[in-house]
Amino acid sequence: MIYGTGKKKVKIMVSAIACVLAAQTFTGCGKESSVTGGGETIVLHILENDTAKSEGYLEELLNAFNEAYKDKGIQAVDANMDEYTDLAANGPYGYGPDVLYQANDKLMTYAEDKHILSLAIEDFECYEYVPEEAWDAFKIVLDGETYYCGVPVNIQEPMLFYRADMMPENWEEEWDDDGNGVADFFENWNDLYAYSSYLRENDTSSNKDSRYGFMASLNNLYLSSQFIFSYGGYVFGQNDDGTLDSTDVGFSAGNTAYGMNALKQMAALMNEGCIDDTITLNRYEKVASGAYFCAVSTPDTYGLFVEKLALKYEEEGLSASDAQAKAEENLCMIEMPALMPADGDLSTDSADMGEDDWVNTIVMGGVNGYGISSYTEHREACIEFVDFATSYEMIKLRADTLGIAPTRSDVAQEQGGLTDMIFNSLSEGRIYLMPSIKAVDQIWVPMQTIMSDIAKDAFRERNGETVKYPDLNSLQSALETADKNVYDAIYTLSD
Amino acid sequence: MDKKSLRKSSFPVKASALIMGSGQLMYKQWVKGLLYLLVFAATVVYMILMGAEDIVGFFTLGTEEADPWLGTSGDDSVIMLLRGLLAFFIIIAFFAVHFSNIRDILEIDKKVRAGKPVPGFVKSVSIFMDRKFYIVALILPVAGVLVFNILPIVFMILIAFTNYGGDTVPPKLVDWIGFGNFVKILSLSDIKSTFFKILAWNILWAVLSTFINYFGGLFLALLLNKKCVKGKAFWRAFPILAYAVPGFITMLAFKFMFSYGGPINYYITSAGGSAVGFLDIDAGIKAKLIGLFVNAWISIPTSMLLATGILSNMNTDLYEAASIDGASKWKQFIKITLPFVIFSTTPVLITSFIGNFNNFGIFYFLRGGLYMDGYFLASDTDLLINWLYNLSIDNNYYGIGAAVSLIIFIITSIFSLTVYVRSSAYRREDTFR
């Protein structure tokens, strides 16, 4: 037989081959060693927002940092990623930025699962200049311990945008009852409602669609949050230890039904565009054309309002530079009127209202800041970068370049004007900070749906259709349903 | 090979049954033996180094949670599930190769016992390629399908049996929960009622849209096939243009057109009417009809082109004969055109139905961002695929999402197989040959 002729030889050969193969396979599976070593430059990938990139701030920041740290072998570069890149999905597998700049609600969703580092905030140079409220936006309690996972940079809140030349000619006589040099309709919502009514009544166009007062997407929780938070509504309640309790959803708390009544009244002075995102899309050109007296937006869209207004002036014959200068001079951005009617009735004449008839306007806002990825290989270098990026010089440069409202008190005071006002609003509790927990993701769509439905009621009434929310009880019930929807979205499937 | 025949077999056969390729080497089938041995050694090494651990991991889905703050890596349940699955695939592949190894050594052994020459490696390959060319031709596509289709599908199916999602996402550890997700879908009242409401609308939508698109396309094709129509190429260009525009651009354009700030409402209000909420919270049936219309706009050109091609192959003698027999135009359409077109397009009709059943874009782009009363994380126009998206992407309920997609898969599979097997395209394959 064949196998019998060289049996031993064949067996030895088979064994030898098997051993060689096995040895080779074992050798090939060895782990590659790290190539880091002394003398090499540490490269940090920085994720900034698109505006900071397009306006050139990021480049200036990186250049300044790289110049300052070239002797320490640290270099920062643009991470070149989408500004909302998912660190939770990419970070554990070695992708994603080392340092990221995002709003507190977004950044802190990473904190719960420890995708961003907790920081010893007292070690940052900016620590003593930033108010506690801003630091709290990045606070998280895990296993009974308090951690801070971000360094605040600036505050965001919805603002009112209008054209100065669209103010009524006689506003100082007719619309400034207290004579303080600020039009009443920028001080309280009843006068803003009254002025909006006046504009609607005097709209002489054939389809009555050319003159509006206050305009906003009323289905947008962020832009129309004053109708909820000014009346005692809240997103999540608090536990005894001060942490957020996402089982307690509070959009129906306090007198929020009054706020919804005010929202409905305001909707009646707008067009149906307030039910969907039409106004959010067309507010820039409509403010520029004068069709909207004022519209709500965030400070980072100031440039878009100016751009559309400048374009209008160019069409009217001005040169590009003159048009830009005139648009910048004419376009104003202010905070929302500070007072809302306590009973939610915007139609009451403000002259008949006493001090107790008002509540303070509270809007939803956010604090943007830097976080450090837990998956970075250069933690210390990242801390150095964040410290540098939140220094006085860099925050001032950021404020000058991007028009942001900084959380650093020294820069805010120096900038003065609106920046200082926004800073004070945060300190004085007139900005309701977006909760910094993951569950906040579940509030937007249910609230968008209910706010859209309530705003639509104004048009149901106008069109002779059945009104869904005729009284405060039905509004209260709708808000309670919204609370339940948010709760269900968070908890129904999570057990 | 049973135990008895193995006991009676020669030593090389026993050796190969124990260590792949060793018997072949004993019969001096060097290349073949080495290849088998290589596979054997690689599998053994893989099992020792990773495979065994991956299989254990598949069942435990991890025991140590990572702590990114402390830099402890811990276990990643999702990766463990994937690696465990891969290990099972490798084991199945190993047994397939082992089976071929035993068949091969038995063949060699038989030839040796019969005193016949055993062909060398090149000769064996040549014979194999000649006799079993289909295996050679299909091995790469099958491997591709296994890796890129079967593996992800099995992975998705397995996810449906875990609690992956919500707060349980890596670095937290995922667990097996059996049919827990399916029980939730069918027992939690909110989810159950939402599921059945959406399923009913989804089936209606799929039937209606498939019908409209198919017969809309056929109608256009027949119309443009008429001899009396002048400038056919010109008229055919319009649907093709609609088809050439990317679908989501068309959907966004229609969303704008039907919005409160869009041109349709502009003309309505300019004419003194009240703006109509075509897609808003009260839209209901209006939004559903607009969805059908937009879907028809996007899909009819495809059906038209398909029908135009099929109609060009029609035998015109049939119509002449039918006319002589006194058949009306409608009768000719029902008895000649329609059976021929349906016969040729049954598989396309099925894929069109499945496509419409799983049509994500239409209502996502036209009416996304609404959760209606009586629906759990969905609106009254959402299809199962939109609900699946809301659950798994917007709300991170991956396990529930996988369970819903498994249900969609079962429904669409049963439907397609039933329709296809019962269709004349399958039962009377050679009718029009």
Give residue-wise pLDDT tens across range A404-444. 889 999 998 888 878 788 888 888 889 999 898 888 888 99
Tens digit of pLDDT for each residue in A276-306? 888 999 999 999 999 999 999 988 788 889 9
Predicted pLDDT of residue A405 = 87
pLDDT recorded at residue B349:
87
Task: Note the pLDDT of residue B371.
Answer: 87
Q: Which is more confident, B233 or B353? A: B353
CA distance A189 to chain B (A): 25
pLDDT in tens, A449-488: 999 999 999 999 888 889 999 999 999 999 999 999 899 8
Percent of chain B whose predicted confidence (pLDDT) is above 90:
41
Q: Does pTM surpass 0.80? A: no
Per CB-CB distance under 8 Å, the chain B contacts of A442 are: 395
Q: Which CATH superfamily does the domain covering A42-149+365-428 fall into?
A: Periplasmic binding protein-like II (3.40.190.10)
pLDDT tens-digit readout, B128-146: 888 888 888 898 999 899 8
Which region among A32-36, A424-428, B153-157 has the lowest average model confidence (pLDDT)?
A: A32-36
Contact B171 A14 (CB under 8 A): no
| Nearest of A38, A39, A156 to residue A407 by alpha carbon | A156
Q: Do domains A42-149+365-428 and A159-362+438-491 have the same CATH topology?
A: yes
Domains and CATH numbers, chain B: 3-178 (no CATH), 185-427 (1.10.3720.10)
Mean pLDDT of chain B: 88
A96 in contact with B, Cβ within 8 Å: no
pLDDT the model gives residue A374: 93
Nearest to A218 by CA among A204, A228, A208, A207: A228
In this complex, is the C-beta atom of A441 within 8 Å of any C-beta atom belonging to chain B? Answer: yes
Give the separation between CA A154 and CA A146, rounded to whole angstroms.
22
Residue A37 has pLDDT above 60, yes or no: no
pLDDT band at B391 (very low <50, low <70, confident <90, very high): confident
What was the pLDDT predicted at B8?
A: 74
Tell me, what's the pLDDT at A13?
Answer: 47
pLDDT grade, residue B6 (50/70/90)? low
d(CA B247, CA B242): 9
pLDDT band at A30 (very low <50, low <70, confident <90, very high): very low
B182-206 mean pLDDT: 88
Query: Does the structure show a pLDDT above 80 at B5?
Result: no
Give the type of residue at A58. Answer: L
Q: For residue A203, what is the DSSP state? A: -
Q: What is the pLDDT of residue B33?
A: 93
| Residue A5: count of CB within 10 angstroms of its CB | 9
Residue A307 has pLDDT above 80, yes or no: yes
B183 inside 8 A of chain A by CB: no
pLDDT exceeds cutoff 80 at B158: yes
Contact A275, A455 (CB under 8 A): yes
Instruction: Name chain B contacts of A92, Cβ cutoff 8 Å.
Output: 66, 68, 76, 170-171
Percentage of the residues of chain A whose pLDDT score is greater than 90: 65
CA distance B164 to B174: 6
Q: How far is A438 from A116, CA to CA, in rounded Å?
A: 14
Residue B111 pLDDT exceeds 50: yes
| pLDDT at residue B274, as a whole number | 84
Domain boundaries, chain A: 42-149+365-428, 159-362+438-491
Task: Please state, as a whole number, how many other Cβ atoms lie within 10 Å of the Cβ of residue A242.
Answer: 10
Which pLDDT score is estimated for A10?
45
Site from A8, A12, A14, A218 to mutate, B interface, most B CB atoms within 10 angstroms:
A14
CB A52 within 8 A of CB A62: no
Pick the CATH number of A159-362+438-491 from 3.20.20.100, 3.40.190.10, 3.40.50.300, 3.30.70.1400: 3.40.190.10
pLDDT of B322 strictly over 70: yes
Instruction: Give residue A101's pLDDT.
Output: 95
Mean local confidence (pLDDT), B268-273? 85
Report d(CA B357, CA B408) in Å as an integer: 9
